[in-house]
Amino acid sequence: MGVAPRPQGLGGGFGRLWTAAVVSRFGDALRGAALPLLAVELTDSALLVSLVTACGFLPWLLFGLLGGVLADRVDQRRAMWTVDVLRGLLMAAFALAVWLDRAGIALLLVLAFALTTLQTVFDNAATALLPAVVPPAALGTANGRLLAGQEAVHRFAGTPLVPVLVGAGAAVPYAVDAATYLLAAVLVAGLPARPRPAAPRPRASPYGLRARGHPLLRHDVAEGLGTLWRDPVLRGVCAATVVANAGVGALVATLVLHLTGWLGAGTTGYALALTAYGAGSVAGGVTAGRVAAALGTPRTLVCAGLAQAGCLTAFGTVRSLPAAGAALAVLGFAGMLWNATEVTVLQRRSPAGAIGRVSAAFRTLSVSVVPLGAVLGGVLAGSLGRNTSALAAAVLVALGTAALGPAARSGIN
């Protein structure tokens, strides 16, 4: 995981930022795979185990908008390395607790909540910082490279390494995660300082958007939501993502049931299918910039949405492991195209001093439906058959793609 080669047209700071993102994601993959294993050792309650995952979503709903405000009001580079230092210290303390056999399920819940709370600041600051690191024309390529690098290290390095590290000691994955956060902090802190665009002056929010609290905070939150609402392209892309993400939640929540139960793939088939998805995702991220340049932003989003809907339909109707693997590979490719293009649209159309707040509004809305989609998927899989969640996801992704129509007519760029 060395510094990424600098693609043509990207600034010199991109390699350092890419490496920091990939190193940090490597640690996240270790923790994400090890934490559920620890949870099931600590409790027999399915509810408590599921709450560990829920605590990974809840802070986005509670603090996501505030994280965006903070990302716009402070130096993004400093915010990112400060957050990573805090996360590194938290993980180091947790690793010590595990090593001393003092980690209980309550501590896992607190840790998951605290890490995601800090992530609301980090992710919004990172989205706002990238346009200052790379030229505007290279944003699509840069976003794709970042997402591809993170997906590759997650799927093919971090997660497979967890059994080896756990075998060396229960605390080892968390200690390595702490080290990756601290290394990422050093890399981000080494980025050259850049003048930060002034945040737009607060103005009255349309459509009754208000936020309680301090007047400045209220105006800042309302400005992010208002910018997202007023721009027909951002509004359309956000609406499309919200609807599609409900389908993603339904699929993810029942994927293991679909593959091992309805398809009868077993654990080996399940692992192979996820590997196919990861390979497709990496390929999609690497080529996202070139595809968007060739097709244009509107066609890229529409084609990616239709491809995902088609793959989900095939995945939910064809009982064949090779077909399922192929469908998931194309699904990963198209999904990564969508994600990279969506972020690029947000960065290009948001006011320079408000990217963090607009990003926070976008993320909060799009994440909020994932738990609802997961519940829908569970209900459908339990009552109508384990393949119905994939078919419901196909319908929701298709509806989300249809919601892009007004945005495309407004001229996505």
Average pLDDT over residues 11-38: 82
**132 lies in the same domain as 252:** no
- What's the number of CA atoms in the CB half-sphere (13 Å) around residue 385? 9
- Residue 309, in any domain of the structure: yes
Average pLDDT over residues 63-90: 87
**184 lies in the same domain as 250:** no
Choice among 42-56, 289-303, 316-330 with the minimum mean pLDDT:
42-56
What proportion of the chain, given as a percentage, has pLDDT over 90? Answer: 27
**313 lies in the same domain as 188:** no
Give the model's pLDDT for residue 218. Answer: 67
Which residues constitute the domain of residue 37? 13-192
- Residue 198, in any domain of the structure: no
Chain segment 358-389, per-residue pLDDT in tens? 888 898 888 888 878 887 888 888 888 888 98
Chain segment 26-59, per-residue pLDDT in tens? 888 888 778 777 877 887 775 676 677 667 777 8
- Residue 183, in any domain of the structure: yes
**173 lies in the same domain as 256:** no
CA distance readout (Å), 21 to 84, 153, 288, 384: 11, 10, 18, 41
Give the model's pLDDT for residue 375. Answer: 79
Q: 203 pLDDT exceeds 60?
A: no
Q: Would you say 127 and 346 are in contact if contact means Cβ atoms under 8 Å apart?
A: yes
Give the model's pLDDT for residue 253. Answer: 74
What is the domain-level CATH number for residue 140?
1.20.1250.20
Distance CA 218, CA 212 (A): 6
Average pLDDT over residues 339-357: 87
The better pLDDT of the pair 352, 80 is held by 80
**228 lies in the same domain as 188:** no
Overall number of domains in the chain: 2
> Domain boundary at 142, 174, 192, which?
192
**144 lies in the same domain as 245:** no
- Residue 204, in any domain of the structure: no
Q: 315 pLDDT exceeds 80?
A: yes
**144 lies in the same domain as 263:** no
Contacts of 194 (CB under 8 A, 6+ apart): 77, 132, 133
**242 lies in the same domain as 183:** no
Give the model's pLDDT for residue 406. Answer: 66
Distance CA 7, CA 135 (A): 12
> Domain boundary at 150, 174, 192, which?
192
Give the model's pLDDT for residue 356. Answer: 84
**108 lies in the same domain as 159:** yes
Give the model's pLDDT for residue 193. Answer: 67
CA distance readout (Å), 282 to 143, 144, 399: 12, 9, 26
The one-letter amino acid code at 197 reads P
The one-letter amino acid code at 91 reads M
- Binned at pLDDT 50, 70 and 90, residue 251 comes out as confident
- Binned at pLDDT 50, 70 and 90, residue 398 comes out as very high
**361 lies in the same domain as 233:** yes
Chain segment 168-177, per-residue pLDDT in tens? 888 998 999 9
**176 lies in the same domain as 296:** no
The better pLDDT of the pair 66, 149 is held by 149
Give the model's pLDDT for residue 61. Answer: 80
The better pLDDT of the pair 266, 347 is held by 347
- Residue 2, in any domain of the structure: no
Using the CB atoms, write b or e for 76-112: b if 16+ within 10 Å: bbebbbbbbbbbbebbbebbebbeeeebebeebbebb
Distance CA 149, CA 84 (A): 19
**240 lies in the same domain as 114:** no
- Residue 208, in any domain of the structure: no
What count of residues does the chain have? 413
Question: Residue 240: which of 342, 159, 91 has the closest Cα?
Answer: 342
pLDDT averaged over every residue in the chain = 82
- Residue 215, in any domain of the structure: no
Specify which of 183-192, 223-232, 302-311 reaches the highest per-range mean pLDDT.
Answer: 302-311
Distance CA 87, CA 91 (A): 6
Chain segment 117-163, per-residue pLDDT in tens? 888 888 888 888 888 888 888 888 888 888 888 888 888 888 778 77
- Residue 197, in any domain of the structure: no
Average pLDDT over residues 225-236: 86
Give the model's pLDDT for residue 401. Answer: 93
Surface-to-core class of residue 346, CB atoms within 10 Å of its CB (0-12 exposed, 13-18 middle, 19+ buried) = buried
Q: Would you say 349 and 413 are in contact if contact means Cβ atoms under 8 Å apart?
A: yes
Question: Residue 24: which of 96, 118, 100, 97 has the closest Cα?
Answer: 118
